[in-house]
Every structure is written in C-alpha cells, then in structure tokens.
Structure 1
Amino acid sequence: MPVWLREHRWRQTAAAVYLSLPLRGARATAANIFCTDQYLKVSIPPFLFEAILYAPIDDTNSTAKIGNGIIFFTLYKKEAAMWDSLTLENANKEKLQYLRENAVLKAHEKAKEETEAKKVTKQEHKKYALEATMKIEEAERKRIEDLKEKERQKVTKELELWKKQQKDAEKQKRVQKEGEIHQEVEQLKEKEKEKMDKARIPNEGTCKTRLKPTKGCIMRSVFYHSLQ
C-alpha cells in the first residue's frame, strides 16, 4: 500500500499556483514527477502524492524545483482566474479514474509528439550539419583552388619574367656580338689600309729614283748639245 503525502501548502495568484510538497526524508528526481495539464503525481515508493487540479495548467512552462527535502511547484494557469481550491472536490471515483486515464493518454500522446518532434529536429540538424559540412568542404575546395590559381599565376608571371630576362640577355649578347664583329671588321679594314699605305710608299720612292737619272741624262744631253 502506498504512503500518501497529504501534507502540503499552496498559494495562488490569478496567473499561477505555488505548491510546496514535503518529501518526509525521501529523495526525489525529475523521473518521480508526472504532470499533465490537469493531473499531478509524485511517486517515490512507498510515498505517493496525487492531485486532480482544479483547472488546466500550462504543463509545458510549469516548473518543479527539488531541494531541502521538498518539491516546489510553480504551476502556470491556462486561464487567469482564482481557484476555489487546489484540487477538484466531490469528484466520484469514475470521474477521477477517467481523469487519471485521460492524463496518462495525454502524456503518451505528448511523449509521442515530442519524440516525433525530436526526430524531425534530429533530421533537420542532420540535414543542417550535412549542408554545413558541404559548405565547409566547398569553401575549402575553393580556397585550395584559389591558392592553386594564385600559385599558377605566380609561376606564370615568374616564367614570363624569366623569358623576358633571357630574351633581353640574348638581345644584349647579340648587340654586343655585333659590336665586337663590327669592331673586328673595322680593325681589319684599318690593318688592310695600313698595309696598302705601306705598300704604296716604297713604289713612289722607286719612281722618283728612276726619274732622277733620266732627268739628269736629259740635262747632260742638252748641255752637251749646247756645247757643240
């Protein structure tokens, strides 16, 4: 047989009910509490607390704090109004049984909805995670491609610069070579001219030497004729 926890204190405002339930030394966790919109149950074997609430509450936002040997409930009313009592009074067993079964059914439906919602949320999170992963991979791929493109442009630029430098160097060598060839040609011309000049000077001296005797002979001949 359960030991009923009948000692409790409660107060209310138009918006909420505040319920304090002593545990008589028992240790409670959230798993020991069952609450729907009009049914509240605390089961810590052998202790048991059960309440068919006077009016529906917002069981989603209502809270239960466990500590110092008590459970303190903050139950937010669905409709702002003052209650005549914490629980329904003068309810027969059939109605109480119906409310219990209905509370359990609602709890199962709510749990099923929450499970489905968690499933959908999990799928959405999985989809989001997949999309996020794909975006990260795409961004990483683009980053790598950009790095490759920058490296390619850098190598291409360096290659073009090297080609230009090689071309300029070859052009400079060609100009230098042409200058050297031109200088050699000029030197050869100069040497050839010097040779020709040297060859011309002795010939002119020989002619003069030959003419002198001839001229002398002619003069002697003239002189000779004059004497005669």
Structure 2
Amino acid sequence: MPIIVKDYTWSQTNSKIHIRVPLNPVSHEKVDLFPTDKYIKANFSPFLFEVFLLHDVDIKKSKCLVKEDLIILDLVKTEEIEWECLEKELTKADKMKIRQEMIEKCQAQAQQESEDRKIKKSQLDRFTVQQAMEIDSQQHNLMDSRRDAERKKAMDELEGWRVDHVENNNRICAPPPKETNGVQITELPPSEDETDDEENKKELVEEKKEFTVSAAPVNKPTPTTRKPAKTPVKSEYVEKKKQETAKRVLPKLRQTMSLEVKHTPRTFPTPSRESTADEEAAWLKNITLARRATGFVSEDLRPEEQDPQWCKIKGDEFFKNGNFLGAISAYTHGISLSDKLPSLYANRSATHFALGNFNKCLNDCSTALDLMKPPCESNRRSRAKCIARRAAALARLGYLNKAIDEMKAAGKLLPDDETIKKDIHDMERAWEQNPDSD
C-alpha cells in the first residue's frame, strides 16, 4: 500500500501556484508524474502524492522540476483569482470519477497525437518519393537530350560526307567532252560487266567510243583505229583456289532455338547504363535504415528468430539478466508472429510490472487470461499467477478494494501458496488504515 505524502507546501501569486513536494530519500529517477488540468499525481514508491486542484490550471504553460530531494511544480492559473485553498473537498466517488475522466482525456489526447504523427510521417514519405521520382525524371530527360544531340550531329556529318562523295564520283565518271577536227567525242561510262570484273578493267586499255558528227559535213569520215583487246592471263593459283572452293563442303545450318534472357532486378525504372549507382545505393540505404528504425525487418532475421517460442525463450533470458527492455522487445516480436500464445503476454506483463508500467501490466494479464480458456488443471497455476500479478498492479495504482478481490481469486486457485496469503493479509491491513485509497 502506498504512503500518502502530506508534508508538502504550496504558495500562490495572482497568476501561478507553487507546490513543493519533498523526495527524501527516494531517487528522482523513480518518480512517475501524471499532471493534468484538474488532478496531479506523483508516484515515487512507496510514497504517493496526489491533489485535486480547486480550480483548473493551464498544464501546457506550467513547469515541473525534479531535483535530488524535491519536486517543484509551477502551475499557471487559467483565471487570475486568489485561491482559498489548494484542494477541493471531494468524496471518494467524486475522486474516482475525476481520475477516470483525466485518464480517458489523456489517452484520447495521446491517441490523437499519435495519429497526427502518422499522418505527418506518411506525408513526408510521399513527398520524399515524389522528389526522388522528379530528380530521376530530370536526369533521364537530360540524358535523352544529350543522346539526341549526339545522334543529330553524327547524322549531319554522315550526310555531308555522302554529298561530297557523290559529287566527287560524278566529276570522275562524267569528264568534259573532247573535240577533234570538228568532231565531238563523248566517252561512255563503263558497262556493268566491266565494273564487275576487275581483271577485265586492267586488261582493257581503251573504251568504246561513239562518234557523232556535229560540225560541217565531211566527204570522207576519218577512220578510227582500235587496238585489239588483250587476252586475259590465266593463273594456276587462282584456278586451284576456284576448284577448292567448288569442292568445299559447307557445314549444316544451325538449328533454331529459343534463348531466355533474364535481366538483373532493379529498384529504379531507369537502365543501369543511364543511372547513377552511387546515388541509388545511398537512397536505398536511407530507406532501409528508416524501416529498421521503426521495428524489425524480416530479411534481417535468422530463421529461428521467426519462431514465437524461440522469442519467448530469448525474452526469458533477457528478463533473468535484468535486461527488461530487451525482454519486452523479444516478447513483442513473438506476439507479432503469433498472438495466440498466452505465455508471451504473461511474461511481458511481468516485465512491465518490473519497469513500473502497471497499466500495460494490467492489459497483458487480462489478454493472457482470455487466451487461457477453457480453464483446466494444466493452466491453473498460470492463471493464478496472472491474477495475482494483476492484483499487485491494481494495488500499485491505488485500487486496493479491487486488488483484494483479485488476490482472493488467485488464492482460491492456489490455496497452499503462502505468498498469496501474506499479500491478502497486507492488503486488508492497508485497506483498514486508509479505506479511501482507491
């Protein structure tokens, strides 16, 4: 049962209330403070300080300072009036009602803040992805423009070379006409047969010419003399090669087959040759770190870490070594894998109780008891432990009447347990000394 602190002091001004609560000999690291507009509670085991304020205060503008031996509360009044006393005169039912209202109000406010943070985080993530996609699009457009410019430049150079080559060929193939004694001589271009056969080109010295008379008529045309064409010289080596080529047996044609091409999987839509690998690796690393900051990542876990029973054993080891936060992480990961094991909730409730998280301890105990159905002899001891732990958490929260009922229920399941009998006796004595504790 907690000891109610009565030796506190308070003072006031027109706009503020100053409260001084002694802490000796408790360390300030163990102080659990719950301030609201109407109700203020400070729990530093085994002591408890709570006050139901006469008027409302602005808790957002108020200040709290925890020193080695003192708690200092500077509360800002909502109205600048002088208070006759610090605390209201309330009945036990009124106190219970105000406590419940403040708890529900704080829970609703915390839930709303959590939802706002989730919405803001989602908006930031969406903005980050949009910016990354925009940067990728800009880089892709820049690469396309540079590639098109280089292609156009190369095509212009090729077109210029082609035009110059055609003009040179025309000048070579069409020489200017010659005139001899009034006779115009026009040279004909070589025939297709002559162009195909390189040996005939070398052997033919003179080309066929056509004479057209364009001047005054002449009585006797000038005779034209032609040199006889040279006979081609045969080469034994060339004839031998031709025979070998004629006798050569060509290999069979290849059979048609289908070839499957698999591309390397990529996170980004751009090809690897057009991407900046360093920037992509940095972006992927930042995304992975952000995912790991919010919890476990499945690809980072070993196969045995995917077993909820293994998570329970690991959490038990952490609990025995005093690493309560590690134990809670192990139990929570096991629950995410399978939420049907009551032992995970029961052991996590014990860890929350050791850390002083009594509300979370109550929730886990209730969930574990819901999963231990139907009640039987094999889970009788486990149910008794969960009920006793829930009774202890209720006592720490100040609900002694409910805690006594819970502890008696645990005693019915384990009638020979001396620890439960002693706890029932201590709670009943505490209730007799201070019946208004809950």
**Structure 2 CA distance for aligned equivalents of residues 31 and 107 of structure 1:** 18
**Alignment map for 1:83-102 (pairs within 5 Å):** 83-88=83-88, 91=89, 94=91, 96-102=92-98
Number of aligned residues: 183
Whether the aligned pair in 1 keeps the contact of 2:28 and 2:68 (CA below 8 Å) is no
Give a deviation string over 1:78-137, Cα, whole Å, max 9, x none: 22222222223xx25x2x541343133222232123213312431x12430342133124
**Structure 1 CA distance for aligned equivalents of residues 79 and 2 of structure 2:** 33
Report what 2:23 is aligned to.
23
**Structure 1 CA distance for aligned equivalents of residues 30 and 13 of structure 2:** 25
**Equivalent of 2:111, from 115, 119, 123?**
115
Report what 1:58 is aligned to.
58
**Structure 1 CA distance for aligned equivalents of residues 84 and 146 of structure 2:** 81
Aligned-partner residue type, residue 47 of structure 1:
F
Report what 1:143 is aligned to.
138
Whether the aligned pair in 2 keeps the contact of 1:36 and 1:103 (CA below 8 Å) is no
Shift of 1:31: 6.1
**Alignment map for 1:125-204 (pairs within 5 Å):** 125-171=120-166, 173-174=168-169, 177=172, 181-182=175-176
Shift of 1:178: 6.4
**Structure 2 CA distance for aligned equivalents of residues 74 and 49 of structure 1:** 16
Report what 1:71 is aligned to.
71
Whether the aligned pair in 2 keeps the contact of 1:63 and 1:74 (CA below 8 Å) is yes
Q: SS of 1:48's equivalent?
A: strand
**Structure 1 CA distance for aligned equivalents of residues 148 and 83 of structure 2:** 80
**Structure 1 CA distance for aligned equivalents of residues 166 and 11 of structure 2:** 103
Report what 1:104 is aligned to.
100
Alpha-carbon distance change, 99 to 151 in structure 1, aligned in 2, over 3 angstroms: same
Alpha-carbon distance change, 24 to 33 in structure 1, aligned in 2, over 3 angstroms: same
Whether the aligned pair in 1 keeps the contact of 2:39 and 2:102 (CA below 8 Å) is no
Give a deviation string over 1:165-210, Cα, whole Å, max 9, x none: 313532563476369x44xx66x96xx9xxxxxxxxxxxxxxxxxx
Report what 2:33 is aligned to.
33
Alpha-carbon distance change, 160 to 6 in structure 1, aligned in 2, over 3 angstroms: same
**Alignment map for 1:213-228 (pairs within 5 Å):** none
1:5 counterpart = 2:1: no
Shift of 1:58: 1.7
Give a deviation string over 1:147-179, Cα, whole Å, max 9, x none: 232133222322233224313532563476369
Q: Per chain length, whose mean CA-contact separation is higher, i.e. which structure has more relative contact order (CA < 8 Å, sep 6+)?
A: 1
Alpha-carbon distance change, 43 to 12 in structure 1, aligned in 2, over 3 angstroms: same
**Structure 1 CA distance for aligned equivalents of residues 111 and 132 of structure 2:** 32
**Structure 2 CA distance for aligned equivalents of residues 31 and 169 of structure 1:** 94
Report what 2:381 is aligned to.
none
Whether the aligned pair in 2 keeps the contact of 1:39 and 1:100 (CA below 8 Å) is no
More helix by share: 1
Report what 1:204 is aligned to.
none
Alpha-carbon distance change, 176 to 25 in structure 1, aligned in 2, over 3 angstroms: farther
**Structure 1 CA distance for aligned equivalents of residues 54 and 108 of structure 2:** 26
Report what 2:43 is aligned to.
43
**Structure 2 CA distance for aligned equivalents of residues 150 and 173 of structure 1:** 35
Aligned-partner residue type, residue 48 of structure 1:
L
- Higher CA-based Rg: 1
Whether the aligned pair in 1 keeps the contact of 2:27 and 2:68 (CA below 8 Å) is no
Q: SS of 1:20's equivalent?
A: strand
Give % identity.
18
**Structure 1 CA distance for aligned equivalents of residues 20 and 167 of structure 2:** 101
Aligned-partner residue type, residue 142 of structure 2:
L
Whether the aligned pair in 1 keeps the contact of 2:58 and 2:76 (CA below 8 Å) is yes
Whether the aligned pair in 1 keeps the contact of 2:39 and 2:98 (CA below 8 Å) is no
Alpha-carbon distance change, 70 to 163 in structure 1, aligned in 2, over 3 angstroms: same
Q: SS of 2:60's equivalent?
A: coil
Give a deviation string over 1:12-46, Cα, whole Å, max 9, x none: 22222122222012123586112222211111111
**Structure 2 CA distance for aligned equivalents of residues 142 and 38 of structure 1:** 56
